[in-house]
Amino acid sequence: MSLTLWSSRCSVTFVRQCSTIFTSNFCPGPVSVSGILQHNSHSPHQLLHHQRTMSSAALGRQDGGTQSRGSTSGAASGVPPFKHPHCDRQAMYAQPVRQIRNKGGSYDYDLVVIGGGSAGLACAKEAVLNGARVACLDYVKPTPTLGTKWGVGGTCVNVGCIPKKLMHQASLLGEAVHEAAAYGWNVNEKIKPDWHKLVQSVQNHIKSVNWVTRVDLRDKKVEYINGLGSFVDTHTLVAKMKSGERTLTAQTFVIAVGGRPRYPGIPGAVEYGITSDDLFSLEREPGKTLVVGAGYIGLECAGFLKGLGYEPTVMVRSIVLRGFDQQMAELVASSMEERGIPFLRKTVPLSVEKQDDGKLLVKYQNVETGEEGQELYDTVLWAIGRKGLIEDLNLPKVGVKVQKDKIPVDTLEATNVANIFAVGDIIYGKPELTPVAILAGRLLARRLYAGSEQRMDYQDVATTVFTPLEYACVGLSEEDAVKKYGADEIEVFHGYYKPTEFFIPQKSVRYCYLKAVAERHGDQRVYGLHYIGPVAGEVIQGFAAALKSGLTINTLINTVGIHPTTAEEFTRLNITKRSGADPTPATCCS
């Protein structure tokens, strides 16, 4: 029984739009170019419409300065303008968009975008759409350990979201085959994954996206330069390419260089350890793997490695999923431990040594007890965080301020230097997510070249951790809500639930849990939604729009659920944490 990835439910839009590669008789070029890279359903038309609605709202505000800004509400009369609870829109819009003469000057280009990833490409293409002359640089420095490289498209396409989701899918499919037996299928349960075939399929897909990206840039008349950019002065950049150097001048620069994985400063780290940059094209099987780091990258990698039959261990220095709701983070970790993924808590690695037989000896230490230990692994994967790529830009030459290894920007994505902007993972303190980068990049281009006023709203961005049992959330974590409003002003509705499909194969429902963090009094506006369970991203996406529209608990519980689904559990929330009642469900359907 061969499960080919071609026919899996891929989230890549151009495949959907042009029918799957497997069933069609050709590998699609950019026939329909909208939404290729971002893997969300934003088409230029939809966003343009949204922007027009927003602009008219912005214009309306110019006379009454004190009225609260409408955000997503249209022109519906009688509806009071929505005042977003934790975002000071007045302050955000108080700073006017800088009017600079930005087109048709004497520079080589109106805009040079440094970085051909999610943010850079979206910005470059949107700028061209609005009449700018644009060049986009992209360059990938090979990984220090294995020399891994990849094509244009950035982290998400090459070594991030896309290969991650495909491998996550591969591992879930393996699980599904075993579950199928319970549903009556005569499957050979001794199925084994073929790592090389998986890697080849994943890489083939990535290469096809690289190709489409290149052609799309050509079609859109964005000049693509495969070179490493560094500043000479505020209007001049030098691009170091394989074939030599090239100097470019531009009116405006957008820095969208993104980040790369960090390596720890311990012996053997760089020589023997790999990162997510290497994992998705690894030529040998990972085998018994030590994943160092318990952020979403570490957990997701450990998760799919387990599903593919390898033995991952997760080494955690302090907490799991830093920045996320910690109750949910612990449930995710427990669900992984339940699946047989051991967690070495409060532990840091000390060194990595290669043995004669090729295995890696990792020495580590418990930071609480000081106790040392060691273990042999086939692979060591560093997932301890990502650093912004400011080092090659020569920022001091132009005086762009940095914070740690990122670039701080204002609400217009402007740096402290007037004609230099930054967008995407490189900016300080904002979610490092593809859809955020894309939207921010597009809005920036519109402000520069289409006279738009709209700023990027970084609040309430929904996200998903693709661990074997997925976790998705939007809005505030419980602890952040408590910090912001005080425990007395917060009500948390929660419950465990049992997905219908889990019964027959007797899949564990122990960690299937969700909660809504809301205002305690008044309208009971929902501040945050958290869900652990299957297809978590699909479940939360719609609720993210609801939250942005001002969802209240009243509306939520008066929404009729779709049955049988797991998403409907949000409409059935009725037990509060405060009541102390047992959140474990007794029955379904009532």
Partner 1 sequence: MAATQKKVIVIDSKSVFTKILEDAGSKHVLVEFFATWCGPCAMIGPRLEQLANEYSTRLIILKIDVDENEELALQYDVTGMPTFVIIKNGVTLIQFVGSNPEKIVSVVEKYVGKVEDNKPGKPSSATGTASVSAPAANRGSSN
Task: Please pick, from the candidates 28, 160, 273, 349, the single residue that binds partner 1 as defined by CB under 8 A.
Answer: 28
Query: Per CB under 8 A, which region of 182-190, 200-208, 355-363, 441-449 contacts partner 1?
Result: 200-208
Q: If binding is defined by CB under 8 A, does position 84 make contact with partner 1?
A: no
Q: Which of 253, 270, 286, 279 is nearest to 113 (CA)?
A: 253
Question: Is position 30 an interface residue for partner 1 (rule: CB under 8 A)?
Answer: yes
Contact 238, 246 (CB under 8 A): yes
In the complex, least distance from residue 161 CB atom to partner 1, rounded to whole angstroms = 19
Nearer to partner 1, 203 or 416 (CB): 203
Give me the 201-240 binding string for partner 1, x by CB under 8 A, dash otherwise: --xxx-xx--x---x--x----------------------
Among 1, 2, 9, 25, the residue binding partner 1 under the rule CB under 8 A is 25
Measured from the CB atom, the residue of 199 and 412 that comes closer to partner 1 is 199
- The least CB distance from residue 275 to partner 1, in Å, is 23
Q: How many residues bind partner 1 (CB under 8 A)?
A: 19
Check residue 418 for interaction with partner 1 (CB under 8 A).
no
Looking at the Cβ atoms of 18 and 456, the one nearer to partner 1 is 18
Structure tokens at 182: 């319970």
- Of 109, 108, 136, nearest to 120 by C-alpha is 136
| Comparison of 25 and 355: residue with beta carbon closer to partner 1 | 25
* Nearest-approach distance from CB 244 to partner 1, in angstroms: 18
Tokens of 5: 């990835």
Q: Which is nearer to partner 1, 18 or 291 (CB)?
A: 18
Can residue 24 be called a binding residue for partner 1 (CB under 8 A)? Answer: yes
DSSP string for 108-133: SEEEEEE--SHHHHHHHHHHHHTT--
Of these, 31, 241, 418, 504, which contacts partner 1 (CB under 8 A)? 31
Shortest Å distance, C-beta 305 to partner 1: 24
Tokens 């170091």 locate to: 240
Smallest separation (angstroms) from partner 1 to the CB of 192: 23
8 A C-beta contact, residue 344 and residue 314: yes
Question: Distance of alpha carbon 449 from its chain centroid, rounded?
Answer: 27
Q: Which is nearer to partner 1, 26 or 233 (CB)?
A: 26
Smallest distance from partner 1 to CB 23, Å: 10
* Distance in Å, CB of 2 to partner 1, minimum: 14
Which of 22-30, 259-267, 441-449, 577-585 is the region at the interface with partner 1 (rule: CB under 8 A)?
22-30
Cβ closest to partner 1, residue 22 vs residue 185: 22
Positive or negative: CA dihedral 65, 67, 73, 79: negative
> 563 an active-site residue?
yes
Residue among 211 and 502 whose Cβ is closer to partner 1: 211
Asked if 525 is part of the footprint of partner 1 (rule: CB under 8 A), the reply reads no
| Nearer Cβ to partner 1 (244/580) | 244
Is 233 in contact with 47 (CB distance < 8 Å)? no
> Rounded to whole angstroms, how far apart are CA atoms 438 and 38?
7
Rounded CA gap, 405 and 396, in Å? 13
* Residue 21 interacting with partner 1 (CB under 8 A): yes
Closest Cα to residue 36, out of 256, 212, 221, 257? 212
Does position 125 bind partner 1 by CB under 8 A? no
Angstrom distance (rounded) from CA 239 to CA 258: 17
User: With respect to partner 1, which residue has the nearer C-beta, 219 or 488?
Assistant: 219
Minimum CB separation from partner 1 for residue 575, in Å?
Answer: 50
Take residue 378 and report the two structure tokens written for it: 């086939």
| Beta pairing class for 386-388 and 420-422 | unpaired
> What DSSP element (H or E) covers 540?
helix 536-548
Tokens found for residue 297: 């990258």
Nearest to 226 by CA among 208, 209, 240: 240
DSSP conformation class of 100: -
Among 1, 2, 9, 26, binds partner 1 (CB under 8 A): 26
Segment near partner 1 (CB under 8 A), from 18-26, 123-131, 189-197, 457-465? Answer: 18-26
The single-letter code of the amino acid at 162 is I
Q: Which of 7, 19, 22, 75 binds partner 1 (CB under 8 A)?
A: 22
- In 3-state terms, what secondary structure has residue 135? strand
Annotated catalytic residue: which of 49, 178, 196, 563? 563
- DSSP 8-state secondary structure symbol assigned to residue 308: T
Output the smallest distance, CB 33 to partner 1, in A.
Answer: 10
Three-state SS string across 270-287, please?
HHHCEEHHHHCCCCCCCC
Looking at the Cβ atoms of 6 and 503, the one nearer to partner 1 is 6
Choose the binding region for partner 1 from 198-206, 266-274, 276-284, 574-582 (rule: CB under 8 A). Answer: 198-206
Told to check if 6 binds partner 1 by CB under 8 A, we report: yes
Contact predicate 496/584, CB 8 Å: yes
DSSP SS3 for 582: coil
What is the number of other CB atoms lying within 10 angstroms of the CB of residue 72? 15
Helices marked H in 42-149 — which ranges?
Answer: 44-61, 89-94, 118-129
CB 421 within 8 A of CB 411: no
CB of 261 to partner 1, least distance (A): 25
Q: Does 183 bind partner 1 (CB under 8 A)?
A: no
Closest approach of Cβ 226 to partner 1, in Å?
11
Identify the residue among 11, 16, 17, 29 touching partner 1 (CB under 8 A).
Answer: 29
Length of the chain: 590
Taking CA atoms, 579 is separated from 48, 315, 429, 493, 513, in Å, by 46, 36, 36, 10, 17
| Integer angstrom CA distances of residue 235 from 100, 112, 115, 409 | 14, 10, 17, 19
* Interacting residue ranges for partner 1, rule: CB under 8 A: 6, 21-22, 24-31, 203-205, 207-208, 211, 215, 218
Residues involved in catalysis = 563
